Amino acid sequence: MLLLFSEDIMQINKKDINIIITYLKIDEEIGKRIRSNNISRCARYFNSTQTKRHIANLLAQSSLTEKPCTCASLSKKTGYSKTAVFKIINEAVDAGYVDETYLKKQRFLSASTEMLDAVFEYAQFRHSLWKTYYPLEVANSTQSKLSLLSKVS
Chain segment 8-22, per-residue pLDDT in tens:
555 667 777 777 888
Per-residue pLDDT of the chain (153 residues; tens, 9 = 90+): 444 455 555 566 777 777 788 888 888 888 888 888 778 888 888 888 889 999 999 999 999 999 989 999 999 999 999 999 999 999 999 999 999 999 999 999 999 999 999 888 888 888 888 778 776 665 555 444 444 445 443
Integer Cα distance of 49 and 137 in angstroms = 31
- Written in H, E and C, the secondary structure of 22-48 is HHHHHHHHHHHHHHCCCCCHHHHHHCC
pLDDT at residue 136, rounded to an integer: 61
Integer Cα distance of 139 and 127 in angstroms = 12
Integer Cα distance of 121 and 113 in angstroms = 12
Count Cβ atoms within 10 A of the Cβ of residue 21 and give its class: 0-12 exposed, 13-18 middle, 19 or more buried. exposed
pTM, entire model: 0.72
* Biggest alpha carbon–alpha carbon distance for the chain: 66
